[in-house]
């Protein structure tokens, strides 16, 4: 049986709760990459990071939801870096674990994502977050 969000919030009382991406499909896909160990980083626009629900610090826990809004895993922030979109390195792109893990794929996918959000610029500031998987899909007990 999978732990409920309420149970996880009791276990991680200060945890941020959110899903990756901007669609149910993307939330499922990216959560699975985390669980499989391929995705150990993510990024957001600096502006989105400044929103009340967006601020996270090193050491913070996050309950990551799947596309149905159910808990998929718990991660913990290990590092935060402020960087411009056009300065993301091939190594950072690979840590995001998406597509073929190349910088070219990362740039295309993230440009499309930020354009959908209405905030893309080659010079835009990003908060690049590295994290570790704390708990994959949760078993009760």
In tens, the pLDDT along 8-66 reads 999 999 999 999 999 999 999 999 999 999 999 999 999 888 876 667 899 999 999 99
**Residues 75-113: pLDDT tens digits?**
999 999 999 999 999 999 999 999 999 999 999 999 999
Cα–Cα distance for residue pair 68/95, rounded to 1 Å: 25
DSSP designation for 23? S
Pairing of strands 41-45, 61-65: unpaired
Instruction: Report the predicted TM-score, pTM, of the whole model to 2 decimal places.
Output: 0.91
1: DSSP letter: -
Does 141 have pLDDT greater than 50? no
- Other CB atoms within a 10 A radius of the CB of residue 37 amount to 10
Q: Give CA separation, 79 vs 56, 117, 136, in Å.
A: 10, 25, 20
**Rounded CA separation 101/3 (Å):** 31
DSSP classification of residue 60: -
């Amino acid at each position: 049986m999978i732990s409920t969000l309420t149970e996880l919030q009791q276990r991680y009382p200060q945890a941020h709760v959110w899903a990756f991406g901007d669609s149910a499909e993307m939330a499922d896909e990216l959560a699975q990459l985390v669980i499989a160990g391929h995705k150990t980083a993510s990024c957001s626009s600096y502006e989105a990071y400044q929103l009340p629900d967006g601020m996270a610090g090193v050491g913070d826990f996050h309950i990551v939801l799947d596309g149905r809004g159910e808990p998929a895993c718990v991660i913990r922030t290990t590092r935060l870096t402020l960087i411009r979109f056009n300065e993301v390195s091939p190594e950072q792109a690979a840590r995001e674990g998406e597509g073929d893990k190349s910088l070219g794929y990362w740039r295309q996918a993230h440009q499309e994502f930020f354009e959908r959000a209405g905030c893309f610029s080659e010079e835009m500031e990003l908060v690049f977050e590295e994290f570790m998987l704390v708990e994959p899909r949760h078993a009760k007990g």
